[in-house]
């Protein structure tokens, strides 16, 4: 037990959420990959692959959470320009997956540059907000600086992945709100973005097929229209076709699950859902674990955000407070989008369920997020600093550019 405690440091609740999600992921991956196992004629291969990725990710969590949070400000120095280059390259030479050209293969390893960009941008925005912190808010040029950086990366991600671009923008918007950027500027930003979306939707019917950069806009419009069923058509009257095939089978899975589910391994719809192990794994969770299991999974994500907020309030400095909130929102908002799609509450998007869905880059980056949160819980709170001083007789020196105090500290 002492050995485990010496390895798993930081906030025990965050560790608990992480391990619970990993266990649910392995169980559901074993059940949901039937279509993959049929194709490759190896029943255990997808589950073993996913388990190995989680194992490697867990080693990463252990390593990262042993680094002091002050070192995380250096990540964007490398990751921001690297992700920019990779996004531009993927736009022209990336591999097409599910109709979107968003993947690269480097040394045989598939890589999704947008995942790297999300991490880099969130850390950068947290750093800027902390560096430009002044009593009662931030310096006047903070909004412009953040807007330029976030806009560049959102526009690079947007052509192939609208939901990821919107998710990144939403998280950064929330960070600016928490950082007390002037509300009038944020309201103007919302108005401009709303107008931009309306214009995109309006011109989408007139965009020719295979138009560079804009070729995904008709797809987004079709998904929205398909979701609304033309507004007047009742759900039971909509026939299953190629466009709504996944959505209908996801709803069948949820209906089949009932209150307590069919139990792991007994899913029926996993054989009909092409993305049962990815975008629609939450539907399989409800089918096998019931509404109860679905609520438990949802509660794990929401409790992570609440716990991050509690830790942020205890942080003595602004940078770790902003960073843990930005990372927690990225994980939880993405989970909410995935669960909403599987439940039929919003149109189909390509967002995986963090840690649970099958994935490489997404899973590893999510593990890194957990490592950063655990590091902040270990080094940034009042209790952690007090404990460090008692053990070593001194406090870790914080660089001046991230030494701004946390105005929301309890």
- pLDDT per residue, tens digit, the chain (410 aa), is 566 666 788 899 999 999 999 999 988 888 776 655 555 555 677 788 889 999 999 999 999 999 999 999 898 889 999 999 988 888 877 776 655 556 676 665 678 888 999 999 999 999 999 999 888 888 989 999 999 999 999 999 888 788 899 999 999 999 999 999 999 999 999 999 999 888 877 776 666 666 555 666 666 666 666 666 555 555 655 666 666 777 777 788 888 888 888 888 777 777 677 767 778 888 888 988 899 999 999 999 999 999 999 999 999 889 999 999 999 999 999 999 999 988 888 887 878 899 998 878 889 999 999 999 999 999 988 776 676 666 665 667 677 667 777 766 54
Question: What is the pLDDT at residue 177?
Answer: 94
Q: CA-CA-CA-CA torsion for 177, 183, 184, 186, nearest 10 degrees?
A: 10
- 254/282 Cα distance (integer angstroms): 9
As beta bridge partners, residue 187 has none
User: Which of 202, 288, 318, 378 shows the shortest CA–CA distance to 29?
Assistant: 288
Residue 41 neighbours by CB distance under 10 Å: 7
pLDDT, position 313: 92
pLDDT attached to residue 136: 81
Residues 141 and 149 sit within 8 Å (Cβ to Cβ): no
d(CA 284, CA 300): 17
| Bridge partners, 271 (sequence order) | none
Q: What is the largest CA-CA distance in the chain?
A: 72
Q: What is the pLDDT of residue 410?
A: 47
User: Coil, strand or helix: which one is 260?
Assistant: coil
CA gyration radius, the chain: 22
Distance separating alpha carbons of residues 205 and 9, to the nearest angstrom: 54
Q: Count, in order, helices (H) and strands (E) of the chain.
A: 15, 5
């Amino acid at each position: 037990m002492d050995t485990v405690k010496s390895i798993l440091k930081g906030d025990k609740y965050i560790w608990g959420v992480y391990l619970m999600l990993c266990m649910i992921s392995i169980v559901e991956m074993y059940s949901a990959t039937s279509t993959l196992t049929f194709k490759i004629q190896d029943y255990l291969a997808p589950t073993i692959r996913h388990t190995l990725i989680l194992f490697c990710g867990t080693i990463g969590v252990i390593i990262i959470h042993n680094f002091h949070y002050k070192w995380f400000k250096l990540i964007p120095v490398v990751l921001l320009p690297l992700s920019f280059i990779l996004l531009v390259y993927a736009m022209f030479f990336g591999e097409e997956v599910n109709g979107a050209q968003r993947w690269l293969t480097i040394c045989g390893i598939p890589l999704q540059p947008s995942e790297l960009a999300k991490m880099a941008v969130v850390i950068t925005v947290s750093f800027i907000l902390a560096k430009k912190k002044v009593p009662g808010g931030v310096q006047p040029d903070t909004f412009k600086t953040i807007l330029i950086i976030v806009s560049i990366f959102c526009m690079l991600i947007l052509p192939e992945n609208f939901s990821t671009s919107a998710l990144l923008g939403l998280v950064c918007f929330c960070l600016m709100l928490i950082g007390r950027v002037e509300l009038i500027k944020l309201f103007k930003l919302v108005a401009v973005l709303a107008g931009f979306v309306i214009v995109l939707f309006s011109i989408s019917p007139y965009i020719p097929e295979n138009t560079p950069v804009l070729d995904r806009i008709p797809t987004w419009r079709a998904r929205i229209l398909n979701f609304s069923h033309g507004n007047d058509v009742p759900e039971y009257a909509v026939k299953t076709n190629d466009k709504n095939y996944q959505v209908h089978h996801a709803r069948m899975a949820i209906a089949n699950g009932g209150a307590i589910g069919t139990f792991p391994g007994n899913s029926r719809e996993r054989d009909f859902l092409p993305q049962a192990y990815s975008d629609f794994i939450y539907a399989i969770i409800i089918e096998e674990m019931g509404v109860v299991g679905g609520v438990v999974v949802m509660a794990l994500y929401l409790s992570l955000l609440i716990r991050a907020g509690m830790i942020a309030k205890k942080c003595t400095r602004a940078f770790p407070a902003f960073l843990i909130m930005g990372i927690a929102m990225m994980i939880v908002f993405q989970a909410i989008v995935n669960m909403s799609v599987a439940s039929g509450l919003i149109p189909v998007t390509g967002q995986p369920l963090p840690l649970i869905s099958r994935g490489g880059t997404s899973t590893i980056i999510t593990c890194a997020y957990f490592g950063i949160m655990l590091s902040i819980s270990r080094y940034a709170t009042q209790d952690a600093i007090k404990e460090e001083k008692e053990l070593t007789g001194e406090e870790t020196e914080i660089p001046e550019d991230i030494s701004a105090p946390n105005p929301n500290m309890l």
